[in-house]
Amino acid sequence: MNQNEDFFPSPSRPRLLVVDDQATNIQVLYQILSNDYQVLMATNGAQALALCASKQPDMVLLDLVMPDMDGYQVCQRLKADAITRDIPVIFITAQTDESAEEKGFDLGAVDFISKPINPRIVRARVKTHLTLKAQSDLLRSWAYLDGLTGVHNRRFFDERIHAEMGRAIRNQTALSVVMMDVDFFKRFNDHYGHQAGDDCLRKVAKTLKASLMRASDHIARYGGEEFVCLLPDTGFAGAMQLAETIRKDIASLQIEHSQSSVAPFVTVSLGVGCKPEKVHGNANQLINLADTQLYKAKEHGRHRIFG
Ligand code: GH3
Ligand code: MG
Ligand code: MG
Ligand code: MG
């Protein structure tokens, strides 16, 4: 696999949500935009909020005046929810007074388009804001990646484990953490050089990624030669099984390590921590548990798993 694929995911057709209480207005916008974009439609605020949460559009074109919930209220609700906060909102309105525009910007809108609609202006503004959104998404994703290996970094893990723990407690599901550390890696670096050490870490990360079974699993580089797997909906037995897969897969790489006291190739030790279903948990305690178990695996001879 090309390593850059993780850094530059191939863009799919951007998805827009058009919200207007009048079907004819939606139709006009659909005709202007559907050649270039995937266009979702909603005729009221509640529908718009539901679609934003479930379909994660790249932008919302929002009518200001609507019965029930008006555009301001919809915008306010979108910005108050972490899941929809970053979706850019453009208001579309026949109102021409500046205070309406000011209020929209105050609520977090990125732009205003006035009715009657000028197709070229709509296309230009949509394109500009989608470009900005794509750039900021890319920057955000870089901030969560480890530069050496391309897997997530510790910042990502620290944020994610708190979110997943909250979810696991709410849903009464299990959550597991597997901590992994390369055995005698200092000796590896000293003997083969730092460059070879970096290569080794890249191979280990790639293998780890391949060993994970579910799309919902996450791996991150936790420290120098330490990696961590976060496994939602996974109980103790499942996490131990995965740890064993990882232990074997990395040994199978047969990366020469003449200075190791366990084997003539690179090996890893693993610690498993699990918050069982229906048990209240705490993210820091779960990390500490996996870490303690990893320490025991080291103490008991390395190239093994404790849980
Ligand atoms: P143990 O089996 O107990 O884990 O021993 P160890 O030598 O692996 O553990 P220790 O923590 O003493 O050494 C970790 C080494 O990992 C130290 C450092 O040289 C190396 N290291 C940390 N980050 C990197 C990196 O980004 N690249 C390279 N090449 N080496 C790194
Ligand atoms: Mg309207
Ligand atoms: Mg270490
Ligand atoms: Mg080590």
Q: Which residues of 255-287 are buried (b: 16+ CB within 10 A; e: fewer)?
A: bebeebebeebbbbbbbbbbbeeeeebebeebb
Nearest by Cα to 142 from 155, 133, 131: 155
Q: Which of 153, 179, 180, 189 most suits a substitution to test ligand 1, by most atoms within 8 Å of the C-beta?
A: 189
Clarify whether 256 is annotated catalytic: no
Residue holding tokens 């079974």?
A: 213
223 CA: nearest ligand 1 atom: 23
Structure token pair of residue 205: 């990360």
Gap from CA of 298 to ligand 4 centroid (Å): 9
Residue 229 β-bridge partners: 178, 219
Q: Is 164 a pocket residue for ligand 1 (Cβ < 6 Å)?
A: no
Q: Which ligand is nearest to the CA of 295?
A: 1
| Active-site position among 225, 226, 244, 277 | 225
Q: Which ligand is nearest to the CA of 185?
A: 1
Q: Is 148 a pocket residue for ligand 1 (Cβ < 6 Å)?
A: yes
Distances (CA, A) of 253 to 72, 101, 207: 57, 60, 8
Structure token pair of residue 4: 């850059």
Q: How far apart are CA 173 and CA 233, in angstroms?
A: 6
Gap from CA of 47 to ligand 2 centroid (Å): 14
- Kindly write down the DSSP assignment for every residue of 104-129, as one continuous string: HHHTT--EEEESSP-HHHHHHHHHHH
Q: How far apart are CA 307 and CA 229, in angstroms?
A: 14
Q: Which residues of 209-228 are buried (b: 16+ CB within 10 A; e: fewer)?
A: bebbeeeebbbbbbeebbbb
Residue holding tokens 């388009």?
A: 113
Do the bridges between strand 38-42 and strand 305-306 make them parallel or antiparallel, or are there none, so unpaired? unpaired
**40: helix, coil or strand?**
strand
Question: Rounded to two decimals, what is the model's pTM?
Answer: 0.74
Q: Is 181 a pocket residue for ligand 1 (Cβ < 6 Å)?
A: yes
Residues in the chain: 307
CB 177 within 8 A of CB 231: yes
Gap from CA of 43 to ligand 1 centroid (Å): 58
Question: Going residue by residue through the chain (307 aa), what tens digit of pLDDT does each one get?
Answer: 344 444 444 457 999 999 999 999 999 999 999 999 999 999 999 999 999 988 999 999 999 999 999 999 999 999 998 788 999 999 999 887 889 899 999 999 999 999 999 999 999 999 999 999 999 989 988 999 999 999 999 999 999 999 899 989 999 999 999 999 999 999 999 999 999 999 999 999 999 999 998 888 999 999 999 999 999 999 999 999 999 999 999 999 999 999 999 999 999 999 999 999 999 999 999 999 999 999 999 999 999 999 9
- Kindly write down the DSSP assignment for every residue of 269-286, as one continuous string: EEEEEEE-TTS---HHHH
ipTM for the whole complex: 0.95
First to last CA, the chain: 32
Q: What is the DSSP letter of 263?
A: -
Q: How far apart are CA 211 and CA 229, in angstroms?
A: 11
Gap from CA of 81 to ligand 3 centroid (Å): 38
Q: Which ligand is nearest to the CA of 298?
A: 1
Centre a 10 Å sphere on the Cβ of residue 233 and count the other Cβ atoms it contains. 17
Residue holding tokens 């006291």?
A: 261
